[in-house]
């Protein structure tokens, strides 16, 4: 095992307190704060949500309603206040295909599931702006739900087009941002629209994301750990660099480890590697050592003779990889070593799997880490945060989604927040 340890950090014992609420989320108006400031009865509230759900091959059946369920708390709260809720979302990648010719990407499949979850009728429109939409929204009588058509039928959505922003702004007096997964993008429906609203607030989902993720970054209970995995170093360099400033320990897993091993001069066989980032990996290890941060690489790996679940496999120390063998998971010794480190930390952020978890023969490392985080949450009261699509999928696949402190709904947004970046969809909200 390769790691850098400071004597001071070794002596730190974990606290059992949770981190405090994040200042960032507290200074932005949230949905309850909005209801205290203004009377929402009969008012139109445009709510940006994430309805980008997966569909079966029939393009009709929703196969995972996680994002739909996330819409419910904010929507029901607003309905209870007597507000009309106008839901707004992107869906798929229609590439700016205009409404009249758009064949795919319509939000029709989510209507019935939403009605079942909300327990009320959802009226879907065939556009998201224009005279007809304005007329329809002006006739809402109170505590009604209306769903606009996919905002990305307009190419201007991703360009933060002023015409679309203003068009959306004509539909309501107030705006609630509750789509954390798109908060890192300055789009018409996330940032531009706020310029045309009396007040803009964070919904329950967004507020929770900010409290956990920004709280972990700005005011964690020490010791703090980051577990960073995934296939490529290139996608995680900024977040690793940022986390070096905040963490006591960083565990590295996934395909990216082989770029670090090559930087250490080891044979990596046929394992994936980003040759242009070998020096960057070396620099990260050097920086960690200088800062007294434990940056820990796996000591052993599960090897395969081909990229296939039915491949021949073997467990080897990282100094014993050779030939055409490739590493596809962390090994059993590493799992035990990671457990010891996780047991010492009180705030843990995980982004990226430990191996090719989609293949059952190379999922043990990822599943083990998921279980460790669940145990740390339940047994020690640790704050455990899982972000990134693959990590979230792995935790849910293991049936442990409800046993960690928080599962983030935004991959890119999670990473950018952990990197310390300002999210346009958050910065645009009204001050509390």
189-227 pLDDT, tens digit per residue, is 999 999 999 999 999 999 988 888 887 777 889 999 999
**Whether 67 is catalytic:** yes
Catalytic residue among 28, 67, 208, 294: 67
405-414 pLDDT, tens digit per residue, is 998 877 778 8
- Binding site as annotated, residues: 50-52, 67, 90-93, 152, 185, 236, 327, 358, 388-391
Task: Note the pLDDT of residue 59.
Answer: 84
Catalytic residue among 159, 412, 420, 421: 412
Task: Note the pLDDT of residue 126.
Answer: 94
Whether residue 57 is predicted with pLDDT greater than 90 in this model: the reply is no
- Do residues 372 and 362 lie in contact, with contact meaning Cβ atoms separated by under 8 Å? no
Q: How far apart are CA 342 and CA 365, in angstroms?
A: 14
Span 308-316, average pLDDT: 97
241-266 pLDDT, tens digit per residue, is 988 988 999 999 999 999 999 999 99
- Do residues 205 and 72 lie in contact, with contact meaning Cβ atoms separated by under 8 Å? no
116-141: string of b/e by CB count within 10 Å (b at 16+)? ebbeeebebbbbbbeeebeebbeebe
Closest CA to 109 of 165, 52, 70: 52
235 vs 126, more confident = 126
pLDDT band at 98 (very low <50, low <70, confident <90, very high): low
378-393 pLDDT, tens digit per residue, is 999 999 999 876 788 8
Q: How far apart are the first and last CA of the chain?
A: 48
Query: Exposed (0-12), middle (13-18) or buried (19+): which is 324, by Cβ within 10 Å?
Result: exposed
Contacts 24+ apart (CB under 8 A), 6-11: 6/292, 6/293, 6/294, 8/292, 9/223, 9/248, 9/249, 9/292, 9/293, 9/294
Q: How far apart are CA 221 and CA 161, in angstroms?
A: 42
Task: Note the pLDDT of residue 236.
Answer: 87
**With a threshold of 0.75, does the pTM exceed it?**
yes
pLDDT band at 160 (very low <50, low <70, confident <90, very high): very high
pLDDT band at 136 (very low <50, low <70, confident <90, very high): very high
Task: Note the pLDDT of residue 96.
Answer: 56
Span 165-194, average pLDDT: 96
364-377 pLDDT, tens digit per residue, is 999 999 999 999 99
Task: Note the pLDDT of residue 398.
Answer: 83
Catalytic residue among 389, 401, 420, 421: 389
**Whether 389 is catalytic:** yes
Catalytic residue among 37, 124, 198, 232: 232
Share of the chain above pLDDT 70, in %: 91
253-307 pLDDT, tens digit per residue, is 999 999 999 999 999 999 999 999 999 999 999 999 999 999 999 999 999 999 9
Lay out the sheet containing 294-296: strands in order across: 294-296, 249-252, 224-228, 347-351, 383-387, 406-407
415 vs 52, more confident = 52
Whether residue 102 is predicted with pLDDT greater than 90 in this model: the reply is no
**Whether 82 is catalytic:** no
- Over the chain, what is the mean pLDDT? 89
Span 160-189, average pLDDT: 96
pLDDT band at 108 (very low <50, low <70, confident <90, very high): very high
Lowest mean pLDDT among 117-126, 312-321, 419-428: 419-428
Count of Cβ atoms closer than 10 Å to residue 29 Cβ: 20
């Amino acid at each position: 095992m390769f790691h850098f340890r400071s004597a001071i950090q070794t002596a730190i014992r974990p606290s059992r307190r949770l981190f405090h609420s994040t200042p960032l989320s507290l200074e932005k108006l949230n949905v309850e704060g909005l209801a205290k400031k203004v009377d929402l009865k009969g008012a139109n509230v445009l709510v940006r949500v994430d309805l980008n759900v997966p569909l079966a091959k029939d393009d009709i059946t929703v196969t995972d309603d996680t994002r739909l369920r996330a819409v419910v708390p904010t929507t029901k709260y607003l309905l209870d206040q007597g507000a009309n809720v106008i839901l707004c979302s992107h869906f798929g990648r229609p590439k700016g295909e205009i409404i009249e010719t758009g064949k795919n990407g319509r939000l029709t499949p989510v209507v019935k599931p939403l009605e079942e979850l909300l327990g009320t009728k959802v009226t879907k429109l065939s556009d998201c702006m224009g005279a007809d939409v304005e007329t329809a929204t002006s006739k809402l009588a109170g505590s009604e739900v209306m769903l606009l058509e996919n905002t990305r039928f307009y190419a201007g959505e991703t360009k933060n087009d002023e015409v679309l922003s203003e068009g959306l702004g004509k539909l309501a007096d107030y705006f609630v941002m509750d789509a954390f997964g798109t908060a890192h993008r300055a789009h018409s429906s996330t940032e531009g629209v706020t310029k045309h609203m009396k007040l803009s607030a964070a919904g329950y989902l967004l507020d929770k994301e900010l409290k956990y993720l920004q709280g972990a970054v700005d005011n964690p209970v020490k010791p703090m750990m980051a577990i960073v995995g995934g296939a490529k170093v290139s996608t995680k360099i900024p977040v690793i660099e940022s986390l070096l400033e905040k963490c006591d320990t960083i565990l590295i897993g996934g395909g990216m480890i082989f770029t670090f091993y090559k930087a250490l001069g080891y044979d990596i066989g046929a394992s994936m590697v980003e040759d242009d980032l070998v020096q960057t990996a070396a620099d990260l290890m050097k920086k960690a050592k200088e800062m007294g941060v434990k940056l820990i690489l796996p000591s052993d790996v599960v090897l395969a003779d081909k990229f296939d679940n039915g491949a021949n496999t073997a467990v080897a120390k990282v100094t014993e990889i050779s030939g055409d063998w490739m590493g596809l998971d962390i090994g059993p010794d590493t799992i035990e070593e990671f457990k010891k480190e996780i047991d010492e930390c009180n705030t843990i952020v995980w982004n990226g799997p430990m191996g090719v978890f989609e293949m059952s023969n190379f999922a043990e490392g990822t599943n083990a880490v998921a279980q460790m985080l669940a145990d740390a949450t339940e047994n020690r009261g640790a704050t455990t945060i899982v972000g990134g699509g693959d990590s979230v999928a792995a935790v849910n696949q293991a049936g442990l989604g409800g046993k960690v402190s928080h599962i983030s709904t935004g991959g890119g947004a999670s990473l950018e927040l952990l990197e310390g970046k300002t999210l346009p969809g958050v910065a645009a909200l009204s001050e509390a």
